[in-house]
Amino acid sequence: MKQIAVVTGASSGMGREFVLQLNSFCPGLDEIWVMARRGGRLERLALQSRVPLRILEGDITKKKICRRLKDLLEEQKPVVRVLINAAGFGRTGSVEKIAAENPAMQTDMISLNCRALTRITEICLPFMRRGSRIINLASAAAFCPQPYFAVYAATKAYVLSFSRALAKELKQKKIYVTAVCPGPVKTEFFQISGGPTGPLKKRIAADAPDVVRQALKDSLAKKELSVFGPVMKAAMAGAKLLPHRLIMKGYKQENRNERTDNPRKRSRPAAG
């Protein structure tokens, strides 16, 4: 049977990096099925990948592309050895201000970060077997509510909770789920929005290849959580031990600094 991986948000950022590193951590793949809106980028990625790519161009929040994935899986009946849900986007600013600027922005964020991730997982699960892996890209923002990043942090809290619960449900089938919770990563997320302007985020921003490499190692080790670097591990511990109202004061001040330093910083488009 054909052995495949499925990667969403594969045209940029972490999703693209997962595609480039998958062969080293998951040898024997026949194809990687890549899903994103920007088909031209996926075609260029195919020239760099050591594994043949099947390009599924489209917006995964729409029924059409999800139906295409489902139909292809049912037609070819491959084994999905790895599913990587990397598509997502975020928006900084208050809930009120974002809603005033674009009434659909925050519900679109929920649709992509939560609903589409869940739907893609549902579609792929019947084609997974013992030893298959699911890697869901969450965020350190999942650890605690974040003022001026409220909806994004809430969606990533969903991804973390969903992933950990799913890991327990699939344990007997020997299908392993890992939630990846990085802090700031040097990807298009910040390039498009003007860069991480807060002093703390500048200091701790990680390189995408390093975060992805750690995530794949943690997945192979059957870990339910992948947190890159000592700073983010300390943040996770702090979110468990400290009252969230105190942590949110720090987030609020950091985000105020960012808006002061770079008033044009607003958003990034959906990954892929």
pLDDT at position 130 is 98
For residue 23, what are the domain limits? 3-261
pLDDT of residue 14: 94
Task: Let me know if residue 271 belongs to a domain.
Answer: no
Closest CA to 170 of 113, 222, 225, 114: 222
Q: What is the CATH number of the domain that holds 60?
A: 3.40.50.720
pLDDT of residue 228: 81
Q: How many whole angstroms separate alpha carbon 112 and alpha carbon 118?
A: 9
Flag whether 270 is in a domain: no
Residue 30 lies in a domain: yes
Supply the pLDDT for residue 261. Answer: 39
Name the percent of the chain lying above pLDDT 70.
Answer: 78
Number of domains in the chain: 1
The verdict on residue 161 lying in a domain is yes
Query: Is 216 part of any domain?
Result: yes
For the chain, give the mean pLDDT: 86
Helices (H), the chain: 13-25, 39-48, 63-76, 95-101, 105-110, 117-124, 150-169, 188-193, 199-204, 208-220, 229-241, 244-261
- pLDDT at site 205: 74
Q: Given this model, what pLDDT does residue 225 score?
A: 96
Listed in sequence order, the residues at least 6 apart from 12 whose beta carbon sits closer than 8 Å to its beta carbon are 36, 38, 41, 187, 188, 271, 272
pLDDT at 262: 41
Which residues of the chain fall short of a pLDDT of 50?
Answer: 192-197, 258-272
Domain presence at residue 46: yes
Q: Is residue 245, in this structure, part of any structural domain at all?
A: yes
Instruction: Give residue 251's pLDDT.
Output: 58
The C-alpha torsion from 192 through 194 and 195 to 201, rounded to 10°, is: -120
In this structure, is residue 8 part of a structural domain? Answer: yes
Residue 250's closest CA among 181, 178, 200? 200
pLDDT tens column, 55-75: 999 999 999 999 999 999 999
CA distance 66 to 120: 7
HEC letters along 10-42: CCCHHHHHHHHHHHHHCCCCCEEEEEECCHHHH
pLDDT score of 264: 38
For residue 232, what pLDDT is reported? 63
